[in-house]
Amino acid sequence: MDRTLAVPARGEPAWLRLRRAWETTTVSEAACGRLLGLFVLLVIVVSAAGLAHGAAAQTFLLIFSSIVIEALPFILVGALASAAIAVFLPERAFGAIARLPLALQLPGAALGGFAFPVCECGSVPVARRLIARGVHPSAGVTFMLASPVINPVVLASTWVAYGGHLRGGEMVAGRASLGLLAAAAAGLAIGRRSGADLLRPRATQHAEYEHGPGSAAFSSHLVSDFLFMGKFIVLGAAVSALVQATVPQSLIAKLGGTPVLAALSLMAVAYVLSLCSEADAFIAASFTSFSPGAQLAFLVLGPIADMKLSVLYGATFRGWFVPRLLLATVPLIVASSLAFGWVIR
């Protein structure tokens, strides 16, 4: 490996020097080959020693790999849309959107979810690109949080999971309206700053896009976004799988003694499970010991914040984003889900 560029400042803390070295040290072909060989050797040793064959390890590996397999194509869809926005949409289009009053941008962004039917993983790179190109941060965040809740595929699966006419209409109406409300509230609470204050700058190498013919720039943007988001999905999936393989689901489910605790318990379950919003209604419907209001809290929070998303948000936005997102949405979701439960009882 070759050390390049890094000139340590006098009195710089050790961790900063390490970080700088990590970011600037280039990897030689020989070192890259050795690292790849070590990785393959490690996999062979783990396999031969039977370390992956224990029940807990198998459960972890299966859940981990299935979350990644399910989420990565959606990341790819988001990266496709993000690259198309970056390369093919002219600057003047974003200038026109940015000049619109927030009162128009916000509902437009919230309802934009109908036109972008993918899960939460795909909406993050699109929102990042929109904000980076001048769309108001409030509108960008609102779009990101609303699209996984109100897109037609999600609403249809919610209707089916709740037995159609049995309770489907009420849950779909509750999910869509509370999802929109929470997304708009979070957008307003979080997006008051400029895009530069909201977005975390990317490491240099990921920003090195090709400039040239549209197709080359498009594929460069696509691959950079996909690889950037992909590694955080891997990390988030690992955390979620670890919790699922170690903490019994029924343990959390037993916490729901009062309506507020019940809603908070199911929101904790939604946060840990990191389910796709197209599937979570089937799980929510199975929590029959919980009220419909608590189930609605599960359905609304899951697509807004979960373990894998928190890692993805942490990489996309500044460090304060996730705590403020939870502060802006959790009390609103708890209160609204209690009101929902009271109305439909």
CB of 105 to another protein, least distance (A): 30
Sequence-ordered alpha helix ranges (H) in 112-167? 120-132, 137-150, 152-161
126 vs 237, which CB is nearer to another protein?
237
User: Residue 203: what are its φ and ψ, rounded to 5°?
Assistant: -60, 150
Q: What is the Cα–Cα distance from 345 to 161, expressed in whole angstroms?
A: 19
68 vs 141, which CB is nearer to another protein?
68
CB neighbours (10 Å) of residue 24? Answer: 14
CB of 130 to another protein, least distance (A): 21
CB of 142 to another protein, least distance (A): 25
19 vs 193, which CB is nearer to another protein?
19
Q: What is the Cα–Cα distance from 262 to 268, expressed in whole angstroms?
A: 10
Q: Say whether 8 sits in a helix, a strand or coil.
A: coil
- What the block records as the tokens of 306 is 């979960």
Q: Which of 272, 277, 264, 253 is nearest to 310 (CA)?
A: 272
69 vs 93, which CB is nearer to another protein?
69
27 vs 343, which CB is nearer to another protein?
27
123 vs 240, which CB is nearer to another protein?
240
54 vs 331, which CB is nearer to another protein?
54
CB of 253 to another protein, least distance (A): 6
CB of 23 to another protein, least distance (A): 5
Q: What is the Cα–Cα distance from 232 to 241, expressed in whole angstroms?
A: 14
CB of 13 to another protein, least distance (A): 18
CB of 260 to another protein, least distance (A): 20
Burial 58-96 (b: 16+ CB within 10 A, else e): eebeebbeebbebbbebbbbbbbbbbebbbeeeeeebee
| Token pair 């001048």: residue | 134
